[in-house]
Amino acid sequence: MNSRIEEFINNIQIYDSTDQAKIRSALEWAKSLHQDQKRASGEPYFIHPLGVASILVDLKLDADTIVATLLHDVLEDTATTPESIEERFGKDVRKLVEGVTKIADIHAKNKTIQEAENIRKMLFAMVQDIRVILIKLADKLHNMRTLEYLPPDRRKANAQDCLDIYAPLADRLGISW
């Protein structure tokens, strides 16, 4: 894990020193919040938000988006409050994290093409900031890259969501990873 963190720290050199400090602070906080959690692979859970944030650093998104990405699961998976996020990182980061949390449970299980299209439209309508969608797309991409550790039914459900909802959404935004 340390080599992944070192690589991430190296990659955020594209940001100014103030933004780097903010990202590093979020990195350390997210790491401590997720410290007792594991992924299905047995790896520390923190590897996931780090991997998702790395995808968006490669796209050179703004520092608040990277901070929110590092924290994107803390409201669901820890005792962290939106207020504590805002206290540490500001209202913009709080809104991004809350936006990602709000759309976390949207699934396409057994949906028709029209229903999947309606879900995509609903996602656009639900979010007030397109960066929420970008974080969610990177989240789904990272999850797809680590599917082999999930049971077959969860692999299939995740893949179906990506095929029916998130891949067309990315395509509509002109994103091809």
Total tally of structural domains belonging to the chain: 1
Is 156 domain-assigned?
A: yes
The CA-CA-CA angle for residues 146, 151, 157, to 5°, reads 80
Q: Does residue 9 fall inside a structural domain?
A: yes
Q: Which of 43, 77, 117, 129 is catalytic?
A: 77
Q: Does residue 76 carry a catalytic annotation?
A: yes
- Find the CATH number of the domain harbouring 152: 1.10.3210.10
Query: Residue 13 to residues 24, 58, 61: CA-CA distances in angstroms?
Result: 11, 11, 13
In this structure, which amino acid lies at residue 98? E
Per-residue pLDDT of 45-97, as tens digits, reads: 999 999 999 999 999 999 999 999 999 999 999 999 999 999 999 999 999 99
Task: Report the half-sphere exposure of 39 (CA within 13 A, side-chain side).
Answer: 19
What pTM did the predictor assign? 0.90
Residue 177 falls inside a structural domain: no
Residue 116 has pLDDT above 60, yes or no: yes
- 39 pLDDT band, cuts 50/70/90, is very high
The range of the structural domain enclosing residue 144 comes to 2-172
Q: Smallest Cα–Cα separation from 59: which of 135, 168, 172, 129?
A: 135
Check 28, 58, 76, 115 and give the catalytic one. Answer: 76
171 tagged catalytic: no
The rounded mean pLDDT for the chain is 91
Quick check: is 127 in a domain?
A: yes
